[in-house]
A and B are shown apart, each in its own frame.
Chain A
C-alpha cells in the first residue's frame, strides 16, 4: 500500500521531515518576529529619549529663565547645541528695541594723505528690491556696533582697505566710525529726527600684506 505514492516507511519519514521543517520554519519566524519587535522596542525607546532630551534642552536654552536648573541645563547641552547648530535665541526687539538709528562708515586715509568715506549699503537709501538683497549688511553693521564683537573690526578694516585702494595710492589707515541719532518719543506721537552723533569704533594701520 502506498500513501500519496510513498511506502508507509517513506511516508512516515517524509511526514516527520516535513513536520521538523515546519517546526524549524515556525521557530525561525518566531525568532525573527521576536528580534523584530525587540528592535522596534529599542527604536521606540531611543526616539522617546531623543524627544524628551531635545524638548527639555531646547526649552531650557531659549526660554529666558535664569534659575539654577535652567542654567545647568544650558551649560550641559551647550557643546552639543553649538556643534549641531541647535543654538537659538528668540529675542527679536527684546527686551529693549534699539533706541537710536545708527550705521557704520569708514574714513580711509590714503598714501597721498587724501581721505575718502566708505559706507556700508544703508537699507533706507536702497530700492525695494535692493533692500531685500542687501539686508544682510544691516544685520552685519548692527553687529559691528556691538563692543562685544570688537574682534571683527580688524577684518572689516582690512577688507575696506582692499576695496578702497589703488596700486598707486594704497590705503594707509582705516577708521571705523559709528553714527547714531536717538529716537525721542514725543507726547503728540510725532517724530522729529535728532541730530547725528558719532563715535570712533576702531582705527587700523594698513600693512602691505593686507592689500594682497
Chain B
C-alpha cells in the first residue's frame, strides 16, 4: 500500500460521512448505563464521596497526586453540595439519554464521571473505566444528530428535514478503537500469565466466592471444560481485538462476544461491566442493518434517513 493509499484509507475511515444512527443508539445505551451506575451508587453516595467518606479527599490527593479533572476539588466540601452534585449528574445523564442539549450534557456527564472516579479510584471496576474513556470521545461525536429531542426541536424549527443527515464518524471510530484495544490489551495481559496459558485460570476465577452470582452447572466446572473455556476466552479476546475490523467476520464475532459477556453476566457478579462493554457493540453494526432491523420489528421511523 502506498502512502497516498494509506492517507486515503485513513480519510475514508475517519471522515467519510455515514448515518449517525449507531452513535445515537450508543448515546442512549451509554446514558442508560450511567443512570444505572448512579442509581446503584445512590444508597452509598455519601459513604464513598461524602465529607466522612471511607477515603478523605486529602488522602486521595496524597495517594494520587498531580493535577486532575475533579469537580470535588472545587465544590464546597459539605454533604449538601455533594448530594447536589449527584442530582446534577443524574439530571445531565437523563438529558444526554433523551438527547436534549446533547453536546453540553455529554461534557457534563464526562466531567462528573471523571470526578467521581478521581474522588475514589479504589471502588471502580473496568466497566467504570470503559464508561469514562468512551465518554471522552462521545463529547466530540454528533450524538444528538439522530433519535434525540435536539433533532425534534431542529425539525420543528425548520432547521432540519425529516431525513437524517450523514455525519463524520471520527469520534465513533475512536470509541470502536477503544473497544478493540480493550480486548487486545486484555488478551496481551493474559498471555503474560502462566495460568492462562496452562488453561487453569478459570478454575480460580470461578472459585472466588466474592464474584459468584448464579450457580454454575457441575459439568462446566470440570477441568477439561474450564481449560477449553480459558483458551476460548483468550482466542475470543484476540479476535474481538484484531479480527473485528474484518467486515466479513464482524457479525459472527459480535455474536460470539455477546454470548461470552452474557455467560459472564450469569456467572460473575461484576455489576454493569458486561453491559458497559456490550453497549459499544452497536457502533460496529452497519447503519443500514440497524434500519433494516427496525423496519423488520415494525418501526419505520428510520426508514427516511440516509444511511450510507
- Show the binding face of A for B, using Cβ within 8 Å: 44, 47-48, 51, 54-55, 58-59, 62-65, 79, 82-86, 88-99, 101, 103, 122-124, 128, 131-136, 138-140, 142-144, 149, 151-152, 154-156, 159, 162, 183, 185, 187-189, 191
Contacts and interface: CB of A to CB of B under 8 A. Distances in A.
A139 B125 contact: yes
Contact of A51 (B41, B170, B222): B170
Contacts of A82: 64, 66-68
A136 B117 CA distance: 12
A99 B55 CA distance: 27
A93 B205 contact: yes
Size category, B interface:
35 or more
A79 B69 CA distance: 11
A152 B63 CA distance: 8
A86 B181 contact: no
B41 A85 contact: no
Given A63-B188, A151-B59, A189-B221, A96 B195 contact: yes
A90 B180 CA distance: 11
B150 interface: no
B132 interface: yes
Contact of A96 (B178, B182, B193, B222): B193
A96 B170 CA distance: 36
B6 interface: no
A124 B210 contact: yes
Contacts of A88: 129-130, 132-133
Interface in B117-163: 117-118, 122-126, 129-130, 132-133, 136
Q: What are the nearest 8 A-B pairs in CB distance?
A: A95-B193, A85-B114, A94-B189, A95-B192, A90-B185, A124-B209, A143-B122, A136-B123
Interface of B: 10, 14-15, 40-41, 43-44, 48, 52-56, 59, 62-64, 66-69, 110, 113-114, 117-118, 122-126, 129-130, 132-133, 136, 170, 173-174, 177-178, 181-186, 188-190, 192-196, 200-201, 203-205, 207-213, 221-223, 226, 269-271
A94 B192 contact: yes
Given A82-B64, A139-B124, 18 more contacts: A83-B67, A83-B69, A85-B113, A85-B132, A90-B183, A90-B186, A95-B190, A124-B210, A133-B44, A138-B211, A140-B123, A149-B122, A151-B62, A155-B56, A155-B59, A159-B54, A187-B223, A191-B207
B186 A149 contact: no
Contacts of A124: 209-210, 212
A41 B212 CA distance: 54
27 contacts: A51-B170, A55-B174, A58-B181, A63-B184, A63-B188, A82-B66, A84-B114, A85-B69, A85-B133, A88-B130, A97-B201, A97-B208, A133-B43, A133-B44, A136-B123, A139-B123, A140-B122, A149-B63, A151-B63, A152-B54, A152-B63, A154-B59, A162-B52, A183-B203, A183-B208, A188-B223, A189-B221
